[in-house]
Structure 1
Amino acid sequence: MMRDWIPEDVLVKYVEDIKQHATIGIPIQHLMGYAYFYGRKFYVTNHVLIPRPETEELVYHSISSTEGKSVDKLPVIVDAGTGSGVIAITLALELTNAKIHATDLSKEALKVAKKNADDHQAAIHFHDGDFLQPLIDQQIHVDMIVSNPPYISIKEKMELADTVRDFDPELALFAEDEGLAAYIKLIDQSKQVLCKRGTIVFEIGHQQGPQVLKLLKESYPHSDVAIIKDINGKDRIVTAQL
């Protein structure tokens, strides 16, 4: 069997990374500097959430929501709170006929997202601001709002794994009002952004389905709303079709 010698500096770095992961819980993705999402490699730092498999299901259902629709213009989609940009970039690469916007309040997160968009040659219109506010300010209207917003209640912080609690950015994890604050804001902002017969697709905490569905129904009483379970059988996505 042929074997290659590992250079000493590579071996030392490898052993040190293993120690950091084992002793203080630094995520492996942060040590490597990348993570995979929807079969693609993305750059990640401690300024963005590490992409998770559940969010791949959010993207899948967002893509499915566009199928079979007859439109006389390019569909316009916004990823509100884009983080590393994996949702927006994947949508741009899978839906080549769509125009994709992405927003984030964190300038550091936007730097990561823009690098990922450049690496994947994805055409994304990035905006610096709070969820849909940049689109409101620029009077941009969209056919679909997709978001994986912060949805963990602050009181649940100590229940999280240390690799999440200590290393993922709090801005992307936690929300007031029992974790519902981001949905309340997004739904309120959506009234100034979403086109007639538009679609909303949210990732949710597995216990938030009824509450988020109720919020959507209160604002869009004539919409078709649904809760979709993830591969583990937990409520994970709420959709609204106007």
Structure 2
Amino acid sequence: MEQKIYEALKWASSYLVEHSRDANAGELLMKHVMGVSRSALLARLHDPLTPERWDAFSKMVQRHAEGVPVQHLIGMEEFYGRTFIVNNHVLIPRPETEELVYHTIEKIKKIKSPVIVDIGTGSGAIAVTMKAERPDASVYAVDLSPEALQTAAQNADILGADVTFWHGDLAEPLIKQGLLVDVLLSNPPYIPARERETLSTIVVDHEPHMALFGGEDGLDLYRRLAQQLPLVMKPGGIVGVETGAGQTEDVAALLQAAFPDGTVSIMYDINKKDRMVFLHV
């Protein structure tokens, strides 16, 4: 018997709820299978699904119920109005990181032709977005994972962003190249190792642990990065990092210790969680 789109979505919603997943994921998967926008999908709810599309859709729903992220099933995620390729080699970009980008753009309006670096670039979301939003900037991106850099470079190419990618650990490539920067951004791994057991299987089983965990207290990468900052930051530069909620005071103290005369500020995300720390050198 032929399935209509709305019937398939109703099944998916119930099936996903039964498996403790977000009921709305079915709509994202259906949009991908149909190759249409949300508005076009809603206009076609009473259209029949071909057997091939029903088969593809139902299998995706089942795989998501088993824990595979929707973004990995469709191979992409939206970030700051652009579509980025994602896979199991990179962290799936989150809305909180969009806020880090937004606040940075606001803070650097008066810096002409800034040199910007994204440490731990992953999918390239921060670096590519900064270049797209500030075409006058020279943008560099660093990652320790060759596979992540390959994904980031692919995103930069597709989105037409001229970003220089370096393989290396935190700011080490900058130090080796003698590059001084106006803006340094990072969304480093910050989940404490002890919290691994509490994470959703969608996260812990499918996203790279290198991009998730930051040592026992989650602050290992911030400590190391703070030690490197005086070697790469220009006077008057800005450092912006994302943190886990509840970590901002500790991260702020690390940045302040690196630049005793600098100005450190903590910012909250749209959900009223302390999420970002900025340092004005």
Please give the range of the TM-score, normalised by the shorter of the 2 chains: over 0.9
Given candidates 142, 147, 151, the residue that maps to 1:108 is: 147
What is the TM-score when the length of structure 2 is the normalising length? 0.82
1:14 to 57, 63, 66: 57
CA distances 1:10-49 after superposition (whole Å, capped 9, x unpaired): 3212111100111x21110100000101111111001111
Work out the CA distance in 2 between the residues paired with 1:9 and 1:186: 50
Higher RCO, 1 or 2 (CA under 8 Å, sep at least 6)?
1
2:270 corresponds in structure 1 to: 231
Q: Is the 8 A contact 2:121 2:142 kept in 1?
A: yes
**1:6 offset after TM fit, Å?**
3.7
Name the structure 2 match of 1:62: 104
Structure 2 unpaired stretches of 5+: 1-42
Q: Distance in 2 between matches of 1:5 and 1:234?
A: 44
Task: Tell me the SS of whatever aligns to 1:174.
Answer: coil
1:39-74 Cα distance to aligned partner (Å, 9 max, x none): 1111100111111100000100111110234x4xx2
Distance in 2, matches of 1:198 and 1:184, equals 19
| Greater gyration radius | 2
1:9 Cα offset (Å): 2.9
State the distance in 1 between where 2:125 and 2:220 align. Answer: 23
Instruction: Tell me the matched-pair count.
Output: 238
- The residue type paired with residue 103 of structure 1 is V
Identity %: 44
| TM-score relative to the length of structure 1 | 0.95
Distance 1:142 1:11 in 2: 51
Q: Aligned letter for 1:188?
A: Q
Shift of 1:207: 0.7
Distance, in Å, in 2 between the alignment partners of 1:186 and 1:58 is 17
Question: Are the counterparts in 1 of residues 124 and 151 from structure 2 also a CA contact under 8 Å?
Answer: yes
Question: For 1:174 and 1:153, how far apart are their aligned partners in 2?
Answer: 6
Instruction: Tell me the CA shift for residue 97 of structure 1.
Output: 1.0
Match in the other structure for 2:203:
164
Unaligned runs of 5+ in 1: none
Aligned to 2:92: 50
Q: Hey, what does 2:240 align to over in structure 1?
A: 201
Q: Does 1:134 align with 2:134?
A: no
SS at match of 2:249: helix
Give the match for residue 89 of structure 1: 128
Q: Mean Cα displacement is larger for which, 132-141 or 1-10?
A: 1-10
CA RMSD of superposed structures (Å): 1.4
